[in-house]
Amino acid sequence: MPPKNPRVTIRDALKNLEESNFRDFCDELAKPEGKPRIWPSDVEKKSRTEVMKVLVSRCSSGAVDRAITTLRDIGCNDEADELGEMDLHSCHSSQRCATRIFPAQTWARPLITTLCMDKLKHRLLPVAPNSKRTKLKHKSIKNRVALLITNNTFTELKNRPGAEKDEENMKELLSTLGYEVVKHTNLTAKKMENALDDFSKHPKLKETDSVFVVISSHGKLGAVLGVNHKPDEPDELKVDDIHDKLNVKSCPALVNKPKIIIIQACRGKETGSALVEADDVAVREIDEDVLRYTHKEKDFIALLSSTPHTVSYRHSLRGSFLIRFTVDVFEANLLKDHIEDLFRKVMKRFEEGKELPDCRQMATKDRCTLTHHFFLFPGDLKQ
């Protein structure tokens, strides 16, 4: 008799568990010391079908082995044996097609993005002739580039434990999306400005379809703080300057290309909570012989971690909620949603407030001047 596929095997094993054993199983899975990490919100108060889907989605990252061990720990050896006989081959078959798989995270499911263009196009809706999507080609995706700046160690302000997790997870996300990541850590405002200057001259910008700029630091309304910031000696990079470095005047190579900016930093001063810490300081190519006017600032969209005058929250071990929610949303929806809808779904996670029961934070879309829908993996890619 051929072995059953993972979905059927896991479903049957969970179905055979008594209710008390099933709840013990979910509680053990959610413990943070287990590897691969399974986030509590994935299994707590979930049905057997929902837990089965989580285990199937993480089959190739070791979740089934974790489930088998957990079942034995709670004395359910028959169900553990049943999982042990499972055919894991189908968990790995998608990797034949250049699948990029995130390593196990400490706070989220692994991100699985299949970059096989034949399969990708079949998973997307066909593009209508008059569609307002940004049209891309393989060459532009191969030349994607992103800037990632993370400040976690400061001379006078509080350090930002957990920011290194943001850096790790965002780098992995951008790499999976095909972006070469230019990474900087612990910069003063002047060095952040220099990094933006250098990035605006990156040789790949001429061919890329888009850029990401992600900055994580302490902040205040209208500015990101450098590592040497002091109350009497400001070390500040204005958010306006970030946009100015990438606009048509400073960076003509990015004309008509989406420029996606994500900033994890406070925009005001309010108290945090016991659970978390608050960052609470406050033209494709322009012809040389043709002169024409174009919009100085166009095709931008920014996602800021909070509304004006309010703080942003960050878990000291797992990183900020903004980066965590962004990775989760991109994981689940990047093949079907454009960037504005992705950001809207990140905001929805803040609205629901399940992971922040004792505090409130609302991410904010800012300065959106996109005139077309930008899909990170659009359906009109040409072979």
Question: Which one from 59, 251, 266, 338 is the annotated catalytic residue?
Answer: 266
**262 and 303 Cβ atoms separated by less than 8 Å:** yes
Overall residue count recorded for the chain in this entry: 383
97 given a catalytic annotation? no
Return d(Cα 49, Cα 69) in angstroms, integer: 20
Distances (CA, A) of 348 to 56, 122, 323, 365, 378: 26, 28, 14, 12, 23
C-alpha distance from residue 195 to each of 147, 188, 190, 209, 215 (Å): 8, 10, 9, 20, 11
Phi and psi for 307 in degrees, rounded to 5? -80, 165
How far is it, in rounded angstroms, from Cα 198 to Cα 192? 10
Alpha helices in 74-116 (DSSP H): 77-84, 89-92
Query: Which residues lie below 8 Å from residue 112, measured CB to CB, with a gap of 6+?
Result: 57, 60, 94, 99, 100, 101, 102, 331
Q: How far apart are CA 231 and CA 314, in angstroms?
A: 22
Closest CA to 78 of 64, 93, 88, 68: 68
Strand 259-264 and strand 300-304: pairing?
parallel
Does 373 qualify as catalytic in the annotation?
Answer: no
Query: Could you say which DSSP state residue 254 is in?
Result: G
User: From the DSSP assignment, how many helices (H) and strands (E) are in the chain?
Assistant: 14, 14
41: nearest Cα among 307, 342, 318? 318
Distance CA 109, CA 328 (A): 8
Phi-psi region of 367 (alpha: psi -120 to 50; beta: other; left: phi over 0): left
Which residue in 76, 91, 184, 218 is the catalytic one?
218
273: part of which helix (H) or strand (E)? none
**179 Cβ contact partners less than 8 Å away, ≥ 6 residues apart:** 144, 145, 146, 212
Q: List the catalytic residues.
A: 218, 266
